[in-house]
């Protein structure tokens, strides 16, 4: 099966899920990696080291910033010339947008957020969660190429083989972009939730430390946010000791404690870390659907009846303001930090 893998990146920094896709593609047959952008030759070299046999490299000022129109028209022109059987993308906003647009150009369909694959002859049978991950659906695409987006961390990351190379094919960009990118605004979200092996998340309970006296002059709402920020410092400290990312429930986001980029759940991010620590989160179904593919959930909640304990492998019934610093101190000692 001839497979293409779209290497999703931001200014030359690839999403780890791109390498996971390459590792998977390699098990199916020859693999070409698609590397589009400006100054992305090092990314092409990395693609070989992660398993690509060929890199289709489109370097053009028109591809400097991701815009689906320019990327999709470049992609579709290539696919019309020498159609692949299968194209894999990471399930990122860019990956989904590009897959959808290119599939429409080429008269095919897309199966998104796939967590397992098997081949049935030259057709891929893809498994994806549906109905808030209560069911797994097996789907196949009858048109060609088959477009599939893969959930981050659902597939193993291949080992990098330093010095491995392959065929570098330079291809022409089709710069039909109707939009331009004016600027990027950086958030302070730290390690990305999608790539994180460990996530420590806080909920509304993170603001609940009556012992904390907010600075004078704050109204009730400001004092609540200030208290939550002190609580999120404890969440952040544990995440940093474990080399992980900070997540949050929607209640914490809606109350203004942390930005939306950190929200986990049905209307936030779906995450698949090895370890998910939920502090002061009750475990509403809309939160749980975002962590169903976490390998291990640990809950800290002072209410022993909180539903989060039903999905947790380990639970601590207690006050997060005591438990989080104790865990950070214990892990620091254990990890020699
Ligand atoms: C359409 C829709 C989409 C939604 N999407 C999402 C989503 O994407 N993500 C999401 O998270 N929610 C989502 N929600 C909201 C969801 O239903 C819950 O309201 C939300 O998850 C509750 O957040 P929470 O657990 O932080 O707050 P709460 O439910 O208020 O729970 C706070 C918890 O903190 C505990 N606690 C309090 N103080 C302490 C302390 N000192 N130490 C330890 N524990 C303490 C309490 O016992 C309690 O269990 C959605 C809702 C709807 C209707």
300 CA: nearest ligand 1 atom: 43
Q: Residue range 1-26: average pLDDT?
A: 96
Q: Is the pLDDT of residue 255 over 90?
A: yes
pLDDT of residue 325: 97
Phi-psi sector, 237: left (phi>0), alpha (psi -120 to 50), beta:
alpha
Are 35 and 15 a contacting pair, CB within 8 Å?
no
**If you measure from the C-alpha of residue 252 to the centroid of ligand 1, how many angstroms do you get, rounded to a whole number?**
7
pLDDT of residue 180: 84
Per-residue pLDDT reduced to its tens digit, 92-130: 999 999 999 999 999 999 999 999 999 999 999 999 998
Decide if pLDDT at 189 tops 70.
no
Minimum CA distance residue for ligand 1 atom 14: 286
- The whole-number pLDDT of residue 192 equals 81
pLDDT at residue number 187: 66
Q: What is the best residue among 200, 204, 276, 291 to mutate for testing ligand 1's pocket, by most ligand atoms within 8 Å of CB? A: 204
**From ligand 1's centre to the CA of 311, what distance in Å?**
14
Q: What is the pLDDT of residues 222-238, one digit of tens each?
A: 999 999 999 999 999 99
Q: What would the pLDDT profile of 23-80 be if each residue is shown by its tens digit?
A: 999 999 999 999 999 999 999 999 999 999 999 999 999 899 999 999 999 999 999 9
Which percentage of the chain shows pLDDT scores above 90?
88
Please give the number of the atom of ligand 1 that sits closest to the Cα of 308: 49
The answer on pLDDT for 10 being more than 80 is yes
What local confidence, expressed as pLDDT, does residue 267 receive?
A: 94
pLDDT given at position 188 = 60
The 3-state secondary structure of 224-262 reads: HHHHHHHHHHHHHHHHHHCCCEEEECHHHHHCCCCCHHH
Q: Choose one of 251, 303, 305 to mutate for the ligand 1 pocket test, by most ligand atoms within 8 angstroms of C-beta.
A: 251
pLDDT of residue 2: 95
Predicted local distance difference test score (pLDDT) of residue 177 = 72
204 CA to centre of ligand 1 in angstroms: 6
Q: What is the 3-state secondary structure (H, E, C) of the chain?
A: CCEEEECCEECCEECHHHHHHHHHHHCCCCEEEEEEECCCHHHHHHHHHCCCCEEEEEECHHHCCCCHHHHHHHHHHHHHHCCCCEEEEECCHHHHHHHHHHHHHCCCCEEEEECEEEEECCEEEEEEEECCCCEEEEECCCCCCEEEEECCCCCCCCCCCCCCCCEEEECCCCCCCCCCCCCCCCCCCCCCCCCCCEEEEECHHHHCCCCCCCCCCCCHHHHHHHHHHHHHHHHHHHHHHCCCEEEECHHHHHCCCCCHHHEECCCCECCCCCEEEEECCCCCHHHHCCCCCCCEEEEEECCCCCCHHHHCCEEEECCHHHHHHHHHHHHHHHHCC
Q: Where does ligand 1 bind, in terms of residues with CB under 6 Å?
A: 203-205, 208, 249-252, 263-268, 280-282, 284, 286-287, 290, 300-303, 306, 319-321
Per-residue confidence (pLDDT) for residue 56, from 0 to 100: 98
Would the pLDDT of 302 be above 70? yes
Q: Which of 286, 294, 318, when mutated, tests ligand 1's pocket best, judged by the most ligand atoms within 8 Å of its CB?
A: 286
Average pLDDT over residues 254-281: 95
For strand 135-139 and strand 123-130, is the pairing parallel, antiparallel, or unpaired? antiparallel
Q: Which of 267, 291, 319, 326 to mutate to test the pocket of ligand 1 (most atoms within 8 A of CB)?
A: 267
pLDDT at 211 over 80: yes
Distance 243 CA to ligand 1 centre (A): 24
């Amino acid at each position: 099966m001839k497979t293409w893998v779209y290497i999703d990146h931001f200014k030359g920094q690839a999403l780890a899920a791109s390498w996971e896709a390459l590792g998977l593609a390699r098990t199916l047959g020859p693999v070409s990696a698609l590397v589009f952008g400006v100054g992305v030759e090092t990314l092409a070299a990395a693609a070989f080291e992660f398993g690509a046999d060929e890199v289709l490299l489109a370097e053009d000022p028109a591809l400097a910033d991701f815009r689906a129109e320019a990327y999709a028209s470049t992609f579709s022109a290539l696919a019309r010339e020498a159609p692949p059987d299968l194209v894999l993308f990471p399930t990122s906003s860019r990956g989904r947008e590009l897959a959808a647009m290119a599939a429409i150009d080429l008269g095919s369909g897309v199966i998104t957020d796939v967590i397992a694959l098997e081949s049935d002859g030259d057709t891929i049978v893809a498994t994806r969660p549906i109905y808030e991950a209560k069911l797994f659906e097996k789907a196949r695409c009858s048109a060609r190429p088959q477009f599939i987006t893969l959930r981050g961390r659902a597939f193993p990351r291949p080992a990098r083989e330093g010095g491995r190379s392959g065929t570098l094919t330079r291809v022409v960009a089709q710069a039909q972009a109707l939009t331009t990118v004016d600027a990027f605004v950086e958030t302070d979200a730290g390690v990305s939730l999608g790539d994180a092996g460990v996530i420590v998340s806080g909920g509304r309970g993170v603001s609940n430390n009556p012992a904390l006296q907010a600075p004078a002059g704050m109204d009730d709402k400001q004092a609540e946010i200030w208290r939550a920020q002190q609580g999120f410092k404890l969440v952040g400290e544990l995440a940093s000791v474990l080399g992980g990312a900070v997540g949050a429930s929607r209640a914490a986001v809606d109350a203004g404690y942390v930005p939306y980029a950190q929200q986990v759940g049905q209307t936030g991010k779906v995450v698949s870390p090895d370890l998910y620590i939920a502090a002061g989160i009750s475990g509403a179904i809309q939160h749980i659907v975002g962590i169903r593919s976490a390998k291990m959930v640990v809950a800290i909640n002072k209410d022993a009846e909180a539903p989060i304990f039903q999905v947790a492998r380990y639970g601590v019934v207690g006050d997060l303001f005591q438990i989080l610093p104790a865990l950070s101190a214990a892990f620091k000692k254990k990890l020699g930090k």
